[in-house]
Structure 1
Amino acid sequence: MSFYTLVKKEVLRFIKVSIQTIFAPLISTTLYLIIFAYSLRGREVVGYSVSYTRFIIPGLIVMGIIQNAFANTSSSLIIAKYQGTIIELLLAPFSYLQLSLGLMIGGIARGLAVGVAIYLVSIFFAGAVIAHPLLLLGSGTIIAGIFSLLGIIAGLWAKKFDHISIFSNFFITPLTFLSGVFYSVSSLPGVWSRVSLFNPVVYMVDLIRYSFIAESDINYLFSLTVISGAFIFLLILVTYLFKIGYKLKD
């Protein structure tokens, strides 16, 4: 198996079931947009000059990217372990870094595919203006990469599918909903606005929001530095876990 074959396999794996992997999350996000766009369309966001609908769209896109990038790599690895095909990956003629990158690229592709689909739907609600498209593409790719790598870690650690849901239900979902998707972090009272800064997803949502509307709660360069550092750390960690055969020899 070559590196190209691995990437192709990971991408085709979610494309073949696109109704489940792309259209299902798109429908749920569209429902969010319908509910919030019409029920809270007159609401003002403190410190922002845009409508509430335009304010929440970047956060919804981040949610879609995060959930699907994580799901792609975690499910791929747990299935490979369950079926015993993980041995083929480990014996293939490429390095541990290439193995990490190959799986990660598949997760990035799915995450960005869902993100683009959500953006296309959001055009009907708030227009198509993007303040910084290159920053949006770069930061979206890094975010998808981070959660693809976290999905790999979850897939390596998990022994069954129920273990994957622990990551999703008890870590990813709470961190996402408490990251300022539906509200401005700076508007939180007292200590809660500072506590929120320990949530890494806050910087992701804020950076994507800045890319769209050129307004944010946190300096975008600081947010970009935080998520870039997290990406590099996780890539090194995942590569090391493959090298030592973490949970692959049990």
Structure 2
Amino acid sequence: MVKIRSIIFYSLIKREILRFSKVAVQTVFAPLISTSLYLIIFAYSFQNREAVGYNIPYIDFIVPGLIIMSLIQNSFANTSSSLIVAKYQGNIVDLLLAPFSHIQLSLGFMIGGIARGMLVGFVIYLVSIFFYGGSVAYPFLAIIFALIISGIFSLLGIIAGLWAEKFDHVSIFSNFFITPLTFLSGVFYSVRGLPGIWSEVSLFNPVFYMVDMVRYAFVGQSDISPWLSLIIVGASFLALLYLVTHLFKIGYKVKS
């Protein structure tokens, strides 16, 4: 039985990876093009400017944020689209009845989302080398941080896919929550430069901690302690993993 569960588990991971790799033009190259436009615009518009409070070129400052922004969007999109399509086609029931545990179901979908997010993030990093040189202060930390963040938004994508009854509902998550929180997380600016209370308000944005700790891994500087960010982000990951596993266990919006 253990062997059967392992085979099915790896089959689920393979299925999730093949889903996006077969349409790589849409899932990988499309976000690469859009992020490359950001890099071109900011590299040439702010080529002689430094980031406020960092004393580094502005392009060096925004590259980590742009990578994480794309990683977030694609990790979320992979799992949310997979779940909503499975619900529409009716094969989500087959997954729930398959002989593996609910935590394996959660991890299988999550790993697929992580694979897409990390691939897109890595490709964007390779392109960014032409704009800022590609230096990373702490490469190992950058990878660990990126994996955790990708995992978080893969799990959020699962929640959105389970909750959604149609594709428009998934767009609500993306357009009204993820995109605003990402743009207001300090991708394009440092919270040190925000006036008055706004620098304090930014601390209530969970995406801020993700962008800030990845920026630390890239440039060795951050607005707050990267270890505090890691604690907050790591705790969020564990909480979401537990929640998603519980939702699969009770068959949330699937069993009726």
Q: TM-score range by the shorter chain?
A: over 0.9
- The answer for the alignment partner of 1:31 in structure 2 is 37
Q: 1:124 aligns with which of 127, 130, 149?
A: 130
Q: How does 1:68-147 map to 2 (within 5 A)?
A: 68-147=74-153
Moved over 3 A (4+): none
Mapped to 2, the partners of 1:219 and 1:235 lie a distance apart of 25
Match runs of 1:143-154 below 5 Å: 143-154=149-160
Measure the CA separation in 1 of the matches of 2:123 and 2:51: 25
> Which is further off, 104-113 or 1-10?
1-10
> 1:104 deviation in Å?
0.1
Q: Distance in 2 between matches of 1:49 and 1:123?
A: 20
The AA in structure 2 aligned to 1:65 is L
Alpha-carbon deviations, 1:9-38, whole Å to 9, x = none? 001110000000000000000000000110
**For residues 48 and 205 of structure 2, what CA distance do their matches in structure 1 show?**
29
Which amino acid in the other structure matches residue 23 of structure 2? V
Between the aligned partners of 2:120 and 2:191, the Cα distance in structure 1 is: 25
The answer to whether residue 199 in structure 2 is matched with residue 193 in structure 1 is: yes
CA distance in 1, matches of 2:231, 2:255: 36
Task: Report % sequence identity.
Answer: 69
Deviation string 1:173-214 (CA, Å, 9 cap, x unpaired) is: 000000000000121011000000000000000011000000
In structure 1, what is the Cα distance between the partners aligned to 2:99 and 2:126? 40
Match of 1:6 in 2: 12
Structure 2: gaps spanning 5 or more residues? 1-6
Correspondence 1:7-22 to 2 at 5 A: 7-22=13-28
- TM-score, normalization by structure 2: 0.96
Deviation per residue, 1:62-96 (Å, 9 max, x gap): 10110000000000000000000101100111000
TM-score of the two chains, using structure 1 as the length reference:
0.99
**Count of matched residue positions in the alignment of Structure 1 and Structure 2:** 250
Deviation at 1:43, TM superposition (A): 2.0
Distance between the aligned counterparts of 1:137 and 1:63, measured in 2?
15
Deviations 1:71-129 (A, max 9, x none): 00000000000000101100111000000000000000000000001100000000121
Mapped to 2, the partners of 1:202 and 1:221 lie a distance apart of 14
SS in 2 for 1:129: coil
In structure 1, what is the Cα distance between the partners aligned to 2:52 and 2:58?
10
Give SS of 1:2's match. Answer: helix
Pick the aligned partner of 1:157 from 163, 172, 179: 163
User: Cα RMSD over matched residues?
Assistant: 0.7
Secondary structure, counterpart of 1:71 in structure 2? helix
CA distance in 2, matches of 1:81, 1:130: 41
SS at match of 1:194: helix
Instruction: Map residues 211-230 of structure 1 onto 2, 5 A cutoff.
Output: 211-230=217-236
Give the whole-Å Cα distance in 2 for the aligned partners of 1:245 and 1:206: 36
Secondary structure in 2 aligned to 1:166? helix
User: Distance in 1 between the 2:139 and 2:163 partners?
Assistant: 36
Q: Which runs of 5+ in 1 are unaligned?
A: none
Shift of 1:249: 2.2
- How far the C-alpha of 1:219 sits from its partner, in A, is 0.5
Give the whole-Å Cα distance in 2 for the aligned partners of 1:98 and 1:167.
25
